[in-house]
Amino acid sequence: MQWSSRELLLGFTTGIAVTLVLDQVRRYITSPYFSRQLALSRYRATTESSSGHTGSIRPAGSGIESTIGNTPLIVIPSLSKATGCTIYAKAEFLNGAGNSPKDRVALSIITRAESHGLLTPHSGDTIYEGTSGSTGISLATLCRARGYLAHICMPSDQSHEKSNLLLKLGAIVERVTPAPIVDQAHFVNRARILADQHTADPARQGRGYFANQFETEANWRAHYEGTGPEILAQTENKVDAFVAGAGTGGTLSGVALALKEKLDHVRIVLADPQGSGLYNKVQHGVMFHSLEREGTRRRDQVDSIVEGIGLTRSTANFEQGRELIDEAVKITDAQAKNMARWLVEQDGIFIGSSSAVNCVAALQTALKLGPGHRIVTILCDSGSRHLSKFWAQIGDIGGEARTTIDDILQGRTLT
């Protein structure tokens, strides 16, 4: 077969054109511009899958409520390196209203009450709650945002940073002497009584609404519908263990329910501070020894510097997910303080006492499971709310890093 001059010329020019086009494509895909665009595209896809937002920048929202949820999931480098696992922390202290996971709960409580006609904005309605601090802060913030007043009852042994902040947020604050839950003077019972009295008083404007964070379904559902699905999306359904403490039990139960629906193998681990009875409830089926009837102790957290988690009684929110808890670990104050020091020294992460307990339990869980596993825990709030109590005992960090993993695990006293 012979080619004509015209055909040869056409083939030659076509070859040159294809070569030039391929060269331009090669130049483009190896250019810095293409690399940036590819990275941006991947970031947008990741952001969309993990947060539900279409794009790398969070869209404008309406009010402080729009900053709640879709919190970052970060890897804690030092603990991951020490264990050979990937230890993730859900940065709940970056919720934008009260800077804790209680933002989700407070918003859920308010919106559900509004939908049932139990709260009406700008009517004089007041929300009453008994809390050790974080839920009160979230409620106080959201009450002002949505047209309500907040009346917070809290134990008098909690850090003053919390009560001072509540006052600045416009809440009425009562610091209540610690009492057992069976006593009407208990801070939770006090809030319930005040709400009832408000509603029954014809001389007072609006109604009183008891938030009831320990027992309300709105608590665990906030995490079942929000926190849990976010963790699944951010890890691409690759979670081997979820570790968290329980104050009301809502976070633990809600996330456990969401994870167990998708992942049969995932382990749920309760991190319990010293003085709490939940460890025994999970491991042995009883809160305390038979001589110590549930709910009769003077404090909810006995002989512990840790605030926000640990109970001497069970709650509806804890019971919602209790059967899903695979094991519980007991964490001492010394272990928590050493972990808080370690995270500042190694990672620049400044956390409060309950977050420190969670991280100790995550460390122990990672070491037990062995290298290659993925563990998720919760960073509840910043250390700035724990300066006068928890961090006052830890002291200043200063100088070079000196805390070791063994110091954490053994709970050694550091000076």
222 close to 248: Cβ distance less than 8 angstroms: no
Tokens of 180: 């057992």
Nearest to 355 by CA among 389, 329, 387, 381: 381
Nearest to 384 by CA among 322, 340, 324, 328: 340
Tokens of 87: 């230890």
Q: Which helix (H) or strand (E) holds 126?
A: strand 126-130
Backbone angles phi, psi at 81, to 5 degrees: -65, -40
Q: How many residues are present in the chain?
A: 415
329 close to 364: Cβ distance less than 8 angstroms: yes
DSSP 299-340: -SSTT----S---SS--HHHHHHGGG--EEEEE-HHHHHHHH
Tokens of 130: 């008994």
Quick check: is 102 catalytic? yes
Which residues in 216-373 belong to E strands, given as ranges? Answer: 241-244, 267-273, 327-331
330 close to 264: Cβ distance less than 8 angstroms: no
Tokens of 302: 């006995």
Q: From the candidates 90, 102, 260, 281, give the one annotated as an active-site residue.
A: 102
DSSP 142-201: HHHHHT-EEEEEEETTS-HHHHHHHHHTT-EEEEE----TTSTTSHHHHHHHHHHHHHH-
- Judging by beta carbons within 10 Å of its beta carbon (0-12, 13-18, 19+), is residue 292 exposed, middle or buried? middle
| Amino acid identity for residue 325 in this structure | I
Backbone angles phi, psi at 198, to 5 degrees: -60, -50
379 close to 90: Cβ distance less than 8 angstroms: yes
Q: Which of the residues are catalytic? A: 102
